[in-house]
Amino acid sequence: MSQSAATAKPEGTTIRSAPTTPSPASKPAATAESPSPARASGVADLAVVRGQNTADIVRAAVEAVGGIERFVKPGQKVVVKPNICVSSAPEYAATTNPEVVAALVALCREAGAAQVKVLDYGFGGQRTSYQVSGIEDAVRKAGGEMVVISPVKWKTTPIPNGKELKSVAIFDDVLTADSLINVPIAKHHNLARLTLGMKGLLGVIQSREPLHYQMGQKLSDLLTVVRPALTVIDATRILTANGPQGGNLKDVKRLDTVIASPDIVAADAYATGLFGLKPEDLETVRAGAANGIGTMDLSKLKVAQVSRQ
């Protein structure tokens, strides 16, 4: 799924080698990671875009990390994977903002994707969750297809390089996609502390309970066979407590922000700061960096801070 990056930089973008974090200043733990090759180009490793027009900030974030053409080629089959785990209206911040999902579907279509499927394996009835979240209607208007995960399409998949997870049943449409775009909402989780990009991928496997033990390592193992080309974290609203289901508007904080990166660990590392945490506070981020999935030391990355206010 890796493609060459475009070099255009969107107007109004400020490129920083070391990011300005949204929480009290903290430097991530030092790692053995190498500096980013993107430092030599005009493309950011990670983009943080703020503004009140949701479609606009999604487009600006994708453009800053190389443009949709970096991640989607004409004629490809694309899967966009938001968080639709519960039947909850968008304002409760338990599911991905439908405007964020629709903007990504539209971008994929503009890039010439032959097919754009949107799916998630939630807790209850998928069809109800798709409708109540507002995502189904938004996706259809943008030219995408909502897919209800069928039991007959789970495929038991070996993980040859897995340390703890040796095989797992993965939804076949995810395995056969040419490009996977992961678009979780940033929210509190009562077991994992936060649900972000890595944990959001539990929605592509059949049985998630075994992954709640040694979650960081097992998600790192999963990412050796299911690697999103792009992760876009929806922080237009975040759920600060009582996740993953939420249900109280007092727990919702509006930030009008999206975070985008081809590096899922880096995206998650930055997003921890939205909750006043550090990257090393999340087991998933620590494990993802330790296992070479991505970079948690944001000082090694080229980060674009973009304001569309």
8-12, 161-165, 232-236, 275-279: the lowest-pLDDT one: 8-12
Looking at residue 150, its pLDDT comes to 85
- Cα separation, 43 vs 63, in Å, equals 9
Report pLDDT for 125. 66
Whether 185 contacts 221, CB under 8 Å: no
Class of domain 43-307: alpha beta
The residue ranges of every structural domain in the chain are: 43-307
pTM, rounded to two decimals: 0.87
The per-residue pLDDT of the chain, averaged, comes to 87
In terms of Cα–Cα distance, which of 217, 202, 100, 233 is closest to 162? 217
Residue pLDDT, tens place only, 175-220: 999 999 999 999 999 888 999 999 999 999 998 778 878 999 999 9
* Measured distance CA(104)–CA(101) in Å, rounded: 5
